[in-house]
Amino acid sequence: MTRNYIFIFACFVMISACQPTEKKPVAPIPAGISEATISSAVKAIGEQGPAAEMAEKGVRHAASLWRDTDGTPEEFIRFCSENFIADQVQKEASFKRFSEYLESLYGHFNKLTLDLQENVQLQKGEVLPIDPLFAAYNPGAHLMNDFFDNKIAFIVALNFPYYSTEDKNISGANWTPLQWGYARMGDVFSSRVPSELVQLSSKVSAEADAYIADYNIYMGNLLNDDNQKLFPENMVLLGHWNLRDEIKANYANKETGFEKQGLIYKVMQRIVDQSIPKVVINSGKPDWNPITNEVFVSGTKTESAAETDGRYQQILNTFHVYQELDQYNPEMNTAIQRAFSSGMQIPQPEVQKLFNEFLSSPQIQEVAAIIQKRLGRDLAPWDIWYDGFKARSSISEESLNVITQKKYPNAKALEDDLGNLLLKLGFTKEKAAFIASRVSVDPARGSGHAWGAQMKSEKAHLRTRIPATGMNYKGYNIAIHEFGHNVEQTVSLNDVPNYMINGVPNTAFTEALAFVFQERDLFLLNMKDNNPEKDYLKTLDIFWSLYEIMGVSMVDMKMWQWLYDHPESSAADLRDAVLQISQDVWNTYFAPVFGIKDQTILGVYSHMVNSPMYLPNYAFGHLIHFQLEEHFKTHEFAPEVLRIFALGQLTPSVWMDKAVGEPLSNEAILKAAEVAIEKLK
């Protein structure tokens, strides 16, 4: 998962810690500029030359941001007349100058935030009480309001107005990179949020990260029904990521794998319904039987309180922040609209329609039948994470751990090897050395993430969990995924035509390249898969991953729809709603395939707590991943990665057309699945 932020924007998809966030009253937005004033401003600009038509869009955008405290209508008219740039040569020069300033500001605020969060996010010893306070501080919280106060924001808005996603899709296919840069400059000042609300968003974001980073389960303390401990004493797994990955790892364990998977699944259910004892979270002191939910200390059964809806209170805290943000986004006045139409640049109804189409496809039943035959048993609910289509599923994790622990005993060893990994993937010596020099590897407290640079002089950061015994296979697999993010972050920052289009259309596109790299993790360990069916297996692996993550994403989306329909709900109300939504989505799309009803496991993802509505990006990432892999079958890998990810931040539809020559859809994966099913069933 990428954690690449632009810090003059609030990190609005985050949450707070378990205690409710106090809602502070926000002053009503002052009246703005009238239609008559807009007409007068356009006329005043037009009197300077033949620029009236060009100016109207900019004047309207600036007017939407102007408040009574910024000046009188007469002052607005004079401001527009004096600051509109009609000459195109001067406009381009101003654009480049604005870009230089913004790169410096974005980059340095990004660096400051990295520094302030290091002690919380990295393995640097004990977290002191002061560390979360610094981690929660956003040094750029006041920047946006400063830009409105000194009128820089209005100069940008006037000359580089905001274009909606629909506008960009219609016109953007024929835009030059410079025109795309102008449009992305217009995105910078598309709304006006008070600095105290920006700071609050940063605060709850940092608190959420700390909560999730420490949501560990000590597996060596789990008991089965016979009071046996099945997992290694020193195994500590982060929920949900590592728990899910441990389920995947145990498909290769023919002796106790099924029982271990069932025990992990019960842990997950306890997390979703919040019956998990609070004392067992991030603690290796008590023993715990997740089946009976009994807790033992020194062999004696002990009463222990449940976490009691802390998970759902955090989601409510986020929602309350979002409600305050809604009034400052008149064009996108719900978090759902901002996450999809603005963030993903795909309207939420279109996302839900695409997911429903895939989840209802007849190919799912046929793939499930193949899995059931390969397992030699009926499907269990946790088989949504079936991992048997991957080459590594037939290789024991223990043997992989030996390889990765020896190869990467610490973060420096991985960092020193990044250039070699790129050489193996076909990058030139010069390009491999450059990209590797722009990535720093850090040992993470949590599961790991990629944090991109925001100016060319800084490095991207690859963060993964590295135990004292060296990097285990799980950490390595995550690290290769995150390295894919870092490659995208480096290419899309340094190789794009101009700074304002750095990046990709949305996080799904960086997830796609991360998946592409992750698929090659065994290849990078010099382990070859000579299976003639490997391409068909890879297709079904992506297909089954899509099935799982689209179901999880449906729960996430429906939860947010429920929140907006029930704004006064309590944490208990939300918990009950999520349990019901999870069951409903399961019963609609999964029960007919698994033959089991009323499962709640689709609500287990930690993203629902600390990254709301991020999950659909993974689904889109898988679709894009598949289309990229199909493209790489007939095009050389490394040169195409460099070409495609240097396209920059276009809209998804324009990007896909320029990247692989076809739109984003389910069609390619569904057709390929049909072929794979025929070969493997």
* Per-residue pLDDT, 153: 96
Nearest-angstrom CA–CA distance, 107 and 5: 10
Q: Which residues pair with 288 in a beta bridge?
A: 222, 295
* Statement: residue 42 has pLDDT above 70: yes
Residue 282 burial (CB count, 10 A): 16
* Per-residue pLDDT, 6: 33
The pairs formed by 464-471 with CB atoms below 8 angstroms and a separation of 24 or more are 464/414, 465/123, 465/238, 466/123, 466/408, 466/410, 466/411, 466/414, 469/405, 470/404, 470/405, 470/406, 470/408, 470/409, 470/410, 471/404, 471/405, 471/407, 471/408, 471/409, 471/414
Question: Coil, strand, or helix at residue 195?
Answer: helix
Locus of tokens 């990247």:
659
Q: How confident is the model over 341-378, as pLDDT tens digits?
A: 888 999 899 999 999 999 999 999 999 999 999 999 99
* Statement: residue 509 has pLDDT above 70: yes
- Confirm if 348 and 336 have CB atoms less than 8 A apart: yes
Query: Please, which residues have CB within 8 angstroms of residue 205's CB and are 6 or more apart in sequence?
Result: 11, 14, 15, 136, 610
Six-digit token string for 393: 């599923």
Q: Which residues pair with 441 in a beta bridge?
A: 462
* Per-residue pLDDT, 207: 77
* Per-residue pLDDT, 1: 59
For the ranges 137-151, 330-344, 647-661, the maximum mean pLDDT occurs at 647-661
* Per-residue pLDDT, 200: 85
Which one-letter amino acid corresponds to residue 32?
Answer: G
* Per-residue pLDDT, 528: 76
Six-digit token string for 481: 């995924």
Averaged confidence pLDDT in the chain: 90
Confidence tier at 443 by pLDDT (50, 70, 90): confident
* Per-residue pLDDT, 31: 55
What Rg, from alpha-carbon coordinates, does the chain have? 26
* Statement: residue 28 has pLDDT above 70: no
* Statement: residue 177 has pLDDT above 70: yes
* Per-residue pLDDT, 113: 92
Confidence tier at 626 by pLDDT (50, 70, 90): confident
What is the helix (H) or strand (E) element at residue 443, kind and residue range?
strand 439-443
* Per-residue pLDDT, 681: 80
SS3 content of the chain, % helix, strand, coil (to 5): 60, 5, 35
Nearest-angstrom CA–CA distance, 475 and 235: 13
Query: Please, which residues have CB within 8 angstroms of residue 156's CB and are 6 or more apart in sequence?
Result: 98, 147, 185, 186, 188, 189
* Per-residue pLDDT, 373: 96
- Inter-axis angle of helices 429-437 and 473-494, nearest 10: 100
Q: What is the mean pLDDT of residues 93-113?
A: 96
Q: What is the mean pLDDT of residues 176-187?
A: 96
Comparing 91-100, 167-176, 526-535, 599-608, which segment has the lowest mean pLDDT? 526-535
Confidence tier at 145 by pLDDT (50, 70, 90): confident
Nearest-angstrom CA–CA distance, 318 and 209: 13
* Per-residue pLDDT, 194: 82
* Per-residue pLDDT, 405: 96
Confidence tier at 165 by pLDDT (50, 70, 90): confident
* Per-residue pLDDT, 2: 57
* Statement: residue 29 has pLDDT above 80: no
Domain ranges of the chain: 35-211+317-335, 215-273+275-308, 346-389+529-613+650-680, 400-500
**Helix ranges, 150-194 (H):** 152-159, 165-172, 177-188
